[in-house]
Chain A
Amino acid sequence: MDALQQIATGALSILSFETIFWIILGSFLGMIVGAIPGLSSGMAVALLLPLTYTLTPLNALIFLTCVYVAVTYGGSLSAILLNTPGAPENAATAFDGYPMAREGKAGEALGLAIAASALGGSISYLFLMGGIGYVADIALSFGPAELFLLALLGVLILSAVGTADPVKALISGAIGLLIGTIGLVPTGESRAIFGSLYLVEGVQIVPVLIGMLVITELLLMIDQDYIVDQDKMAGNRGVAGIFRGFRRALDYPVNLCRSTVIGIVIGLIPATGATLAALASYTIARRTSKNPESFGKGNPQGIVAAESANNACSGGALMTTLTLGVPGSVATAVLLGALTIHGLRPGPALVQQQGPLVYGLISAAILSQVFMVTIAGGLGHAFSGSLAIHTRILVPLLMIFSLLGSYAGRNVSFDAYLMIGFGLLGYLMKKYGYLPVAVVMGVMLGSIADNELVRVLQLFRSHWYRAFFERPIAFVLMVVLVSILARALYQGLFGRRKKPAE
Chain B
Amino acid sequence: MPKTSRGIERLAGELVVPAIGLAFLAAYWWQAASLSFQAKVFPGLVSVSMLVLIVIRCVAIGREFFAQRQAAPVLAAGEATATPDGAWRGAVRRAALLVLATLMMVLWRDLGAMICIFLFLLGALLVLGERRIVLLVLLPGIMTVTLVYLFKTVLAAVFPAGIFSLF
- Indicate whether B78 reaches chain A with its CB closer than 8 angstroms: no
**B141: Cβ under 8 A from any A Cβ:** no
B155 contacts which chain A residues (CB < 8 A)?
Answer: 50-51, 53-54, 408
Q: How far is the CA of A402 from the CA of B36 in the complex (A)?
A: 38
Residues of B within 8 A of A187 (CB): 36, 38-39
Is the CB of A185 closer than 8 A to any CB of chain B?
A: yes
B147 at the interface (CB under 8 A from A): yes
A-facing mask of B13-46, CB < 8 A → 1, else 0? 1101110110011011001100110110111001
Q: Once the chains bind, are B54 and A171 in contact (CB under 8 Å)?
A: yes
Is A41 positioned at the interface, with any CB of B under 8 Å from its CB?
A: no
CB distance from A49 to the nearest CB of B (A): 11
Whether the Cβ atoms of B93 and A178 lie closer than 8 Å is: no
B50, A171: Cβ atoms closer than 8 Å: yes
Give, as a whole number of angstroms, the nearest-CB distance from B27 to chain A: 7
Across-interface contacts of B53 in A (CB, < 8 A): 167, 170-171, 174
Please report the C-alpha to C-alpha distance between residue A400 and residue B100 in the assembled complex, in whole angstroms.
11
Q: Which residues of A contact B120 (CB under 8 A)?
A: 396, 400, 403
Complex alpha-carbon distance, A420 and B120, angstroms: 14
B151 touches A429 (CB 8 A): no
Residue numbers of B with Cβ under 8 A of A are 13-14, 16-18, 20-21, 24-25, 27-28, 31-32, 35-36, 38-39, 41-43, 46-47, 49-50, 53-54, 56-57, 60, 86, 90, 93-94, 97-98, 101-102, 104-105, 108-109, 117, 120-121, 124-125, 128-130, 135, 139, 143, 147, 151, 154-158
How many whole Å from B50's CB to the nearest CB in chain A? 4
Compute how far the CA of A403 lies from the CA of B97 in the bound complex, rounded to whole angstroms. 12
Residues of B close to A54: CB separation below 8 A: 154-156
> Nearest Cβ distance between residue A431 and chain B, in whole angstroms?
8
Question: Can you list 28 contacts pairing A with B, beta carbon distance less than 8 Å?
Answer: A51-B155, A167-B57, A167-B60, A175-B21, A178-B47, A185-B35, A191-B39, A222-B93, A222-B97, A223-B86, A223-B90, A391-B128, A393-B130, A404-B157, A407-B157, A408-B155, A411-B158, A416-B101, A417-B102, A417-B105, A420-B98, A425-B20, A431-B13, A432-B17, A434-B17, A454-B41, A492-B56, A492-B60
Produce 1/0 per residue, A158-195, CB < 8 A to B. Answer: 00000000011011001101110110011101011110
Taking the complex as formed, is A4 at the interface, i.e. its CB lies under 8 A from any CB of chain B?
no
B residues near A446, Cβ cutoff 8 Å: 46
Q: Per a CB cutoff under 8 Å, which of B21, B35, B154, B158 touches A171? A: B21
Scan residues 413-458 of chain A and give those whose CB is less than 8 A from a CB of chain B.
413, 416-417, 420, 423-425, 427-429, 431-434, 446, 449-450, 453-454, 457-458
Q: Which residues of the partner chain B approach A397 to less than 8 Å between Cβ atoms?
A: 121, 143
Given contacts A219-B94, A392-B130, whether A168 and B57 have CB atoms under 8 Å apart is yes
CB of B151 within 8 A of CB of A404, answer: yes
Chain B residue nearest to A485 in the complex (CB): B49
Q: A487 to B9: give the CA distance in the assembly, Å.
A: 30
Give the residues in chain A near B21, CB-CB below 8 Å.
171, 174-175
Contact-residue size bin, chain A (C-beta under 8 Å from the other chain):
35 or more
Q: How far is the CA of A395 from the CA of B97 in the complex (A)?
A: 10
Interface residues of A (CB under 8 A from B): 50-51, 53-54, 167-168, 170-171, 174-175, 177-179, 181-182, 185-187, 189, 191-194, 219, 222-223, 391-393, 395-397, 399-401, 403-404, 407-408, 411, 413, 416-417, 420, 423-425, 427-429, 431-434, 446, 449-450, 453-454, 457-458, 489, 492-493
